[in-house]
Amino acid sequence: MLRDVVRALEPLRGKWEPAYEAHREAVAELRSRDPTYEPRKIETVHLSSGMTVNDRSDPAVDAMLSLHEALFEHEQHWRGDPTLIVPDLTVTAVAHNAVVWGFQHRLHHSGAEAPYARTCAERLAWRGLIGEDAVPVLHRTLAGLLHFLWGQHKITHLENWMLRAHTRVVEIAVRRAGQAPPFAEETKTFLDQLVPPVTPGSKFARARAALKSEPSPSRVEEAVAFIEDAFRRCAADDRYAAADYAAWALGDLIERTGQPRQEAVLVFRSVFDGLDRHEEGWIEPYLVDGFAEVRETGGADLFARWSRENL
């Protein structure tokens, strides 16, 4: 019954004013009855200092959040939710789906960057859009980029301008896929030696030892310094090559955090955390080119500019 009401009200939303609110209420009621539906909510964050973030009991905060929600609802009303392109026969389609999939399934900080990037690279090779030899490099480069891109998505909505810009960033990474970036082999060798080999004993004893141990600060700092120095040396010759290296190195660290050895996971996670603050600056050439269209149009395509001027 509710589904019939939603379908009946949809075409009336732009023609009959009460239909808009009635449609919203019917959709909310329908979703509340679905045990698998998890609404996207902006949660209030309470900091140890006593400050709060997104606290709607503050009228100013509530007004700002309501303003953003109105903009999101307007775009969602006319565009609908972001959807996957099926079949994904082009690089643009694959790049678009990488961005949308991360938003739909809230994959930021889920550990899914490396597995998804590997699948994406293998699919591109299977479709003949890249060479087989480019898969290992693209796999790590995409993992590093997706960690940043998925982290930029809003909680409740993926704006069309951001989707277009992020799609372009992934496209650039695919187009540049080929040989390993400078210092990739040196970095791989260094990281391989960062964690000592497995010690004899039962797997349970090794697991207990790993859980009790903390990563050595000196080892972590040495690895962070090594990658930072390699980036600086790349950037001195070619900023884009340095961005390639940065995305690859961060993606390689993400890949290494997925291994079963807890001790190794702690070490590589600590190294990644030490470098994470650099990511936006390090991949700047990708972002500059990816967001070029957004800068030229003020973040709005033809429909969005018309809406702003006429609605």
3-state helix, strand, coil in the chain (%, to 5): 70, 0, 30
Q: Residue 207 and residue 187: Cα distance in Å, rounded?
A: 27
pLDDT number for residue 271: 92
Mean pLDDT computed over 197-210: 58
Q: Which residues contact 91 (CB under 8 A, 6 or more apart)?
A: 124, 129, 171, 174, 175
User: Which is more confidently placed, 158 or 133?
Assistant: 133
The model's pLDDT over 91-115, given as tens digits with 9 standing for 90+, comes to: 999 999 999 999 888 888 888 999 9
Q: How many Å apart are CA 302 and CA 138, to the nearest integer?
A: 33
Q: What percent of the chain has pLDDT over 90?
A: 41
- Segment 142-169 mean pLDDT: 88
Angle at 35 between CA 32 and CA 39, to 5 degrees: 55
Check whether 80 has a pLDDT greater than 50.
yes
Higher pLDDT, 274 or 61: 274
**Whole-angstrom Cα distance, residue 138 to residue 144?**
10
pLDDT, tens digit, 9 for 90 and up, residues 27-59: 778 777 777 666 666 778 788 888 888 888 888
Q: Which residue, among 63, 65, 100, has the nearest Cα to 79 in the 3D structure?
A: 100
Closest C-alpha to 286, from 152, 190, 186, 195? 152
In whole angstroms, give the CA distance from residue 172 to residue 164.
12
d(CA 8, CA 14): 13
224-272 pLDDT, tens digit per residue, is: 999 999 999 999 999 999 999 999 999 999 999 987 777 788 889 999 9
Mean pLDDT of the chain, nearest integer: 83
**223 contact partners, CB below 8 Å, separation of at least 6:** 190, 191, 194, 267, 271, 274
Nearest to 120 by CA among 157, 162, 173: 173
The secondary structure element, H or E, covering residue 35 is none
- Please tell me the distance from the alpha carbon of residue 217 to that of residue 270, in angstroms, as a whole number: 9
49, 75, 123, 170 from 148: Cα distances, Å: 28, 24, 22, 11
Give 39: exposed, middle or buried? Use CB within 10 Å, 0-12, 13-18, 19+. exposed
Mean pLDDT value of segment 125-136: 93
With a cut of 70, say whether residue 307 has pLDDT above it: no
* Stronger pLDDT, 196 or 271, i.e. the higher one: 271
pTM of the predicted model as reported, rounded to 2 decimal places: 0.76
